[in-house]
Structure 1
Amino acid sequence: MLLIDYFDKGAEVFPGRSLVHDGERGWSYAEMKRLTHRIANGLIRQDLQVGAPVATYSPNHPLSVACQYGIIRAGLVWVPINARNSVHDNIEVMKLLGVQCLFFHSAIKAEIDRIRAAVPTLRHCICMDEENLQGPGLEQWMTDGPTDEPYFARSPQDVVSMPTTSGTTGKPKGVMLTNENWEAMVATYQIVMRHEGPPVHIVAAPLTHAAGYLCATLLSVGGTNVILPHPDPGLILEAIDRHKGSALFLPPTVIYSMLSHPKVGDFDYSSLRFFLYGGAPMSVQKLREAMQRFGPVMAQTYGQTEAPMTATLLTPRDHVEALESPELSKRLQSAGREGPLVRTRIMDDDGRLLPTGERGEVVCRGSVVMKGYYNNPQATAEVSTNGWHRTGDIGMTDKDGFVYIVDRKKDMIISGGFNVYPTEVEQILWTHPSVQDCAVIGAPDDKWGEAVTAIVELKAGVTATEAELIALCKERIGSVKAPKRVEFWAALPRSAVGKVLKREIRRKFWEGRERAI
């Protein structure tokens, strides 16, 4: 099946059921299908070639879902732009991918002139939630257009979405995901989740990432997606109770905030059936606390943009068995076993698959693995060995097939579920007149999983404060990427040729822990 087939199947079987809900009003499957027809036909009138990249740039909003599927229905490639990234970073993504049309939320309106000027391929900008805002709004743009369903001959191998990742380089790469990739994700979660009835998905994490993937997996079974504007712990707790939420995805840092929220005991969570977490390891202590609070519903996913959400899964049953059996408790530290439609193994640097218990790079293959990086065959080749996709993570398997992620092959930090690239932070710190040298690493943190931590060597005879350097980074690259703490060292450890030894710095923070991630 094609991705749009799952949408249409849900609309045929559950036309009156809400597909999306903003907390106050819902949009039925039938309404959303008509809306995607109008959006698709509007795009077709712009003479965009089949396969052209079209972006959505919005915080979580029901209309961003309509635009996503309207883009796909028109035979175009959906480019999800993360509204939490800096405008500069998002412009670079749009330039790289040659975005031709942009659906934006009014929260972005102040930046539209800057975006238009910076992205030479951009032909159209449409505000999805307001009219007459530096161009036509969505409703005006769709006026007088046909409402019938457009048809394009599409295949499972056609690219339908192109999220971006920077991997370990800090430079964005477009990840080409096909209908077949999406089908593998949808099928995996329909196997694992085993819905008792049409699910209610509380969407609090960004729709551009895992929460959007989970949304897609629920379409053909009539799932309702209750969309929250941002991951506020109190709002999430209330929404689960109010809307009888049964499915949810969040990074661990948000779950920790929910558990410590003063009103966590005020709501009923008995409707929950599948509480998925991922993006970073979760503290075992907090995981036990979450299971006690929310029930036997926790599930972990491990993957990456190039192989989304299905490389391994630690199911609710796995969690329960590990919690109840002392000899199985270590499994709570694992990322689970390979998904039903993927093979996941451990490989050495020479391309040899390793036996149980030996550490190496986690690799996977299957229908979920991307088609490749957009216009970057060299980068595509670098992550492929003998048909296996290299994740860049170091792990090992136990005798029962559980995969343990123990380190990261490169220096990328995952903090609160977001990728942070040390070189980007270091470049900002080096602009401060008092900084002689610096190294940015991920240090263990109960809330963030990894906290962005800067080790700074100052120039002789000058000073700088932690608050000063953090403020500089927040101003330049935003709060997600800014260091959570700064330490001042007299000298950074260096090799004989003067290279800063980050592994030695990391060791000081991670010493005594079973894993360094």
Structure 2
Amino acid sequence: MSAPLTIGRMLTAHARLKPHRIGARDLERALTFKEWNDRANKLANALLGLGLRKGDRVAVLAYNCVEWAEIYGAAAKSGIVAVPINFRLVGPEIRYIVEDADASALIVQDVLAHEIEAIRDGLSIPAGNFVHFGQAAAPAGYRGYEDLIAAASDAEPSDQPGPDDAWTLMYTSGTTGNPKGAIRGHRGMSMLALMTEVELGIHGRDDALLVMPMCHANSLNFFSAFVYVGATITIFSRKSFDPELCLRIFGEMGATFTSLVPTHYGMMLEVPTSQRERFRFDRVDKLMISSAPARAETKRAVMEMFPNSGLFELYGSTEAGWVTMLHPHEQFDKLGTVGREVVGSAPILLLDDDGNEVPDGQPGELFSCGPYSFDGYWRQPEKTREAFRGDYCTVGDVALRDEDGYIRLIDRKKNIIITGGENVYPTEIEAVLAGHPSLRDVAVIGLPDLKWGERVHAVVVPRDGATIDPGALIDWCKPHLAGYKRPRSVMIAAADDLPRTATGKVQHRLLRQRIIDKGEGG
């Protein structure tokens, strides 16, 4: 009988074939494939020993660290479903996810234990199933993570999951209402790993630096792909992004790949040349940029800093996995697009509100169909039905396709501004404003307006030392935007004033609500 292909079984295979090679590490400690496999087995058996069974959920709250590799591995070997929680959330938000997932256990890092302590009394998790790890000793009422591992067997769990079983339950950002749990199964993750290998040409000699949060789909998806090929995975175990440290890791630890948002690349480019020149980046051969539009000058500067690397651009989602890819040779020929369908996917559909396909050049809601789409929203059949049209799924993004089949993202359907009866897409305006030499960042939202219904409002972050004249900035848009698209008001803000998701995306609806609640925005 053939064994289903899962991350757990691939980890077992690499532990046998290359036991002494570094498999997973953070900036504090490293595990060979054999050590990683043994610890994943022990953790799997320890969780089963707490009474969990295949299909039960274990919630995880932690910053980036090598324990994520052990936890995801243990879940893949036991059939227990990992529920990663965004470490930026606070008590009530954490409580909602833990309770909605009906978690049977919770693993928390010591530096985040205070968030759990504030809500622990109201959680339905059994008293003995709170697990604690880190430098600090486990507080009363918690089991020590290392104690559990030390006492457990390193034998492979006997009842491992099949391809149709769930592996993760990952909650969406929840910018409107409560977040939804997206179910990802082993079959889909196996196919996504395969497609990533084909698109990027990754192999077992790679060393993937995972900077994005391990609680997020971006890092989880790349984690899976590099585990499959038996590459080394380096987890950026810092609470916040340190651009100089990231450059040093490339230069000294031999990383060959990373996936970052444009803001991260911009921060690395701001590191003084004298400091950058201390490091060699010869091994870096694949870079990914995603989650937000990148300027042409940013892309050129990144390619100059990493001369041996190809720069890829990606569009995807927690639910759909990878949707499109823009390859290195296409970066400037198709600037502003996110490429075409990832290999193995069906042609993208762009549909109007009546479900009809729109012609090229016209905006429509994007539906994708790949062999690795999510299995549905946890306990939300109505939301699941809304997300699918047959085998095609959507997260509400609006896009258009050019005559060569390249996809240009316009905006999220929920972010559309309707002003004077016209639909305005904030991303289009943000792309224009991003070209202003005095702006570091920008977000465009719609604010209530008695005359127009909504008015276009720009929140801008100046570059250091720059002075912004709101009226002059609006005038600067005139050659680039139709009158109804140009901002009618401008707010100058600090970078920290823009609320973001874990991957750096601006949360437009949250920003809008904050401005309305404070009575700002003119």
TM-score surpassing 0.5?
yes
Instruction: Work out whether residues 203 and 231 of structure 2, in 8 Å CA contact, stay in contact via their aligned partners in 1.
Output: no
Alpha-carbon distance between aligned partners in 1 of 2:83 and 2:143, rounded to the nearest angstrom? 21
Alpha-carbon distance between aligned partners in 2 of 1:375 and 1:442, rounded to the nearest angstrom? 38
Matched, 1:220 2:228: yes
Matched, 1:128 2:148: no
Matched, 1:233 2:233: no
Structure 2 SS opposite 1:333? coil
In the TM superposition, what are the counterparts of 1:7-22 in structure 2 within 5 Å?
7-22=11-26
Instruction: Work out whether residues 360 and 396 of structure 1, in 8 Å CA contact, stay in contact via their aligned partners in 2.
Output: yes
Q: Which amino acid aligns with 2:310?
A: V
Residue 207 of structure 2 corresponds to which residue in structure 1?
Answer: 200
In the TM superposition, what are the counterparts of 1:72-87 in structure 2 within 5 Å?
72-87=76-91
Residue 398 of structure 1 corresponds to which residue in structure 2?
Answer: 402
Structure 1: 5+ residue stretches without partners: 323-327, 427-437, 448-464, 494-504, 506-517
Alpha-carbon distance between aligned partners in 2 of 1:20 and 1:490, rounded to the nearest angstrom? 46
Percent sequence identity is: 23
Alpha-carbon distance between aligned partners in 1 of 2:518 and 2:58, rounded to the nearest angstrom? 50
In the TM superposition, what are the counterparts of 1:440-451 in structure 2 within 5 Å?
443=459
What is the CA-CA distance between 1:140 and the residue it aligns to? 1.3
1:47–1:488 Cα change, 3 Å? closer
Alpha-carbon distance between aligned partners in 1 of 2:118 and 2:378, rounded to the nearest angstrom? 25
1:350–1:54 Cα change, 3 Å? same
Alpha-carbon distance between aligned partners in 2 of 1:252 and 1:467, rounded to the nearest angstrom? 19
Matched, 1:171 2:191: no
Alpha-carbon distance between aligned partners in 1 of 2:311 and 2:92, rounded to the nearest angstrom? 37
Of 300, 307, 311, the match for 2:323: 311
Alpha-carbon distance between aligned partners in 2 of 1:488 and 1:158, rounded to the nearest angstrom? 44
Structure 2 SS opposite 1:342? coil
Q: Which amino acid aligns with 1:380?
A: T
Instruction: Work out whether residues 17 and 222 of structure 1, in 8 Å CA contact, stay in contact via their aligned partners in 2.
Output: no
Of 295, 303, 314, the match for 1:291: 303
Alpha-carbon distance between aligned partners in 2 of 1:488 and 1:155, rounded to the nearest angstrom? 49
Alpha-carbon distance between aligned partners in 2 of 1:279 and 1:85, rounded to the nearest angstrom? 20
CA displacement, residues 266-309 of structure 1 (integer Å, 9 cap, x when unaligned): 3222211111121112122211221222234211111111112x
Q: Which amino acid aligns with 2:227?
A: L
Residue 264 of structure 1 corresponds to which residue in structure 2?
Answer: 276
Structure 2 SS opposite 1:391? coil
Alpha-carbon distance between aligned partners in 2 of 1:390 and 1:122, rounded to the nearest angstrom? 37
1:490–1:3 Cα change, 3 Å? closer
Structure 2 SS opposite 1:254? helix
What is the CA-CA distance between 1:62 and the residue it aligns to? 0.6
Of 102, 111, 115, the match for 2:115: 111
Matched, 1:335 2:335: no
What is the CA-CA distance between 1:68 and the residue it aligns to? 2.0
Please, what TM-score do these two structures have when normalized by structure 2?
0.77
Instruction: Work out whether residues 126 and 136 of structure 1, in 8 Å CA contact, stay in contact via their aligned partners in 2.
Output: yes
Alpha-carbon distance between aligned partners in 2 of 1:39 and 1:271, rounded to the nearest angstrom? 34
CA displacement, residues 345-388 of structure 1 (integer Å, 9 cap, x when unaligned): 21222222333322211110122211100000011111112332
Q: Which amino acid aligns with 2:354?
A: D
1:384–1:220 Cα change, 3 Å? closer
In the TM superposition, what are the counterparts of 1:427-438 in structure 2 within 5 Å?
none
Structure 2 SS opposite 1:219? helix
Alpha-carbon distance between aligned partners in 2 of 1:259 and 1:315, rounded to the nearest angstrom? 21
Considering only aligned residues, what root-mean-square deviation do their CA atoms show, in Å? 3.6
Residue 160 of structure 1 corresponds to which residue in structure 2?
Answer: 167
Matched, 1:300 2:305: no
CA displacement, residues 308-363 of structure 1 (integer Å, 9 cap, x when unaligned): 2x1001122323xx3xxxxx2xx121111111122222122222233332221111
Alpha-carbon distance between aligned partners in 2 of 1:218 and 1:188, rounded to the nearest angstrom? 12
Residue 106 of structure 2 corresponds to which residue in structure 1?
Answer: 102
4+ residue runs over 4 A deviation: 412-415, 420-423, 438-447, 465-468, 470-474, 479-493
1:287–1:66 Cα change, 3 Å? same
Instruction: Work out whether residues 7 and 227 of structure 2, in 8 Å CA contact, stay in contact via their aligned partners in 1.
Output: no
What is the CA-CA distance between 1:103 and the residue it aligns to? 1.3
Alpha-carbon distance between aligned partners in 1 of 2:54 and 2:457, rounded to the nearest angstrom? 43
1:51–1:441 Cα change, 3 Å? farther
Alpha-carbon distance between aligned partners in 1 of 2:517 and 2:213, rounded to the nearest angstrom? 37
Q: Which amino acid aligns with 1:244?
A: G
Structure 2 SS opposite 1:111? helix
Q: Which amino acid aligns with 2:316?
A: G
Structure 2 SS opposite 1:47? coil
Structure 2 SS opposite 1:317? helix
Alpha-carbon distance between aligned partners in 2 of 1:122 and 1:490, rounded to the nearest angstrom? 41
What is the CA-CA distance between 1:118 and the residue it aligns to? 3.1
What is the CA-CA distance between 1:396 and the residue it aligns to? 1.2
Alpha-carbon distance between aligned partners in 2 of 1:39 and 1:112, rounded to the nearest angstrom? 21
Aligned residues: 446
Matched, 1:54 2:54: no
1:401–1:36 Cα change, 3 Å? same
Structure 2: 5+ residue stretches without partners: 417-425, 431-442, 448-453, 464-490
Alpha-carbon distance between aligned partners in 2 of 1:489 and 1:386, rounded to the nearest angstrom? 40
Of 294, 311, 314, the match for 1:282: 294
CA displacement, residues 369-411 of structure 1 (integer Å, 9 cap, x when unaligned): 1110000001111111233212311111122221110222112
Instruction: Work out whether residues 203 and 229 of structure 2, in 8 Å CA contact, stay in contact via their aligned partners in 1.
Output: no
Alpha-carbon distance between aligned partners in 2 of 1:243 and 1:46, rounded to the nearest angstrom? 38
Structure 1 SS opposite 2:161? coil
Alpha-carbon distance between aligned partners in 1 of 2:459 and 2:372, rounded to the nearest angstrom? 31
Q: Which amino acid aligns with 1:21?
A: R
